[in-house]
Amino acid sequence: MRGLKLPLSQTQRVRLQRAFEKLQSLSAMANSDASVTVADTIPVNYEDAFLKGHGTTDLNGELVATVCGVVERVNKLVYVRSLRARYKPEVGDVVVGRVVEVAQKRWRLEINFSQDAVLMLSSMNMPDGIQRRRTALDELNMRSIFEENDIVCAEVRNFQHDGSLQLQARSQKYGKLEKGQLLIIDPYLVKKSKQHFHHLEEFGIGLILGRNGYIWIGEHVEARDSMVIDQAKSIEQSTVVEGINQAYTPLEMRQNICRIGNAIRVLTSLGFNVDLNLIMETVELSSSLKIDIHDMLGSEFHVLVAEMEAERRSLTTKRKR
């Protein structure tokens, strides 16, 4: 609550404080040493051998945290995973990035890492969908695929010996993202899960939760093979000739994108982990209360979301008992 800068009334401040106290008590019941701040003592069994990891130090015979974060234990290793840090990539992570340079046989992407990531021309599907060797013509036509400032979804492939990060986009679900909105949040709020691509059928929207804290909300596009794409292009061209511009995003679609985006902004400012269920609950709360999209960023809705999450976690804890 200290870092939350909202023009709260006295009543709203008390309600928000109670919700955070309830959340804190529930978190303490689940894991007594989950979160630590600088100089907090980390409980360990000194009879068993353990290894001091990142974010810890030995002070007066006690293991003390040197950074704010979450205590992690891997076998005998005890370390603190710091919060609000830059993204730390892992192989297989789904990421969203922005193209910053078109170089020889590669694109460079900014993905909230300490250095730009590299997407090789040979590591992505070609527009024609045919698996083949890349030619000099393909290299000349790279800007027709991605150019500077394009938003691209890809997967972490590996690390090179020089520390650079390589991406790949060999699946139809990866590639250029259009007709949507990019949100940038702290990477630690996006937990690794089995599914980072979500189709919100109710709204016709595709949601990509990038592990690097880049979240894409846009019009859902089905992955199709090259023959279907060619047919769709011919239909679209004939439709444009008739005077209908298919590139236009309908008002209702844009409103849905903005509503989901504001729901994520509220969850982020409250410090909650961003996942599909919590996002949809927040969207449904705003819709059921008939709250306008721009009012979602106000103080009252922040308090309502905090109270909703405190109640949800309380019910979940009771069910486990």
The top-level CATH class assigned to 31-82 is mainly beta
Contact between 123 and 170 under an 8 Å Cβ cutoff? The reply is yes
- Give the tens place of pLDDT for each residue, 222-250: 765 443 344 444 444 433 334 444 567 89
- Give the tens place of pLDDT for each residue, 247-262: 678 999 999 999 999 9
Residue 274 structure tokens: 């961003």
The full set of domain ranges for the chain reads 31-82
pTM of the model: 0.81
Asked if pLDDT for residue 197 goes beyond 60, the answer is yes
Closest CA to 150 of 202, 110, 94: 110
What whole-number percentage of the chain has pLDDT above 70? 87
| d(C-alpha 312, C-alpha 319), whole Å | 11
- Give the tens place of pLDDT for each residue, 136-195: 888 898 999 999 999 999 999 998 887 789 999 988 889 999 999 999 999 989 988 899
| d(C-alpha 103, C-alpha 120), whole Å | 9
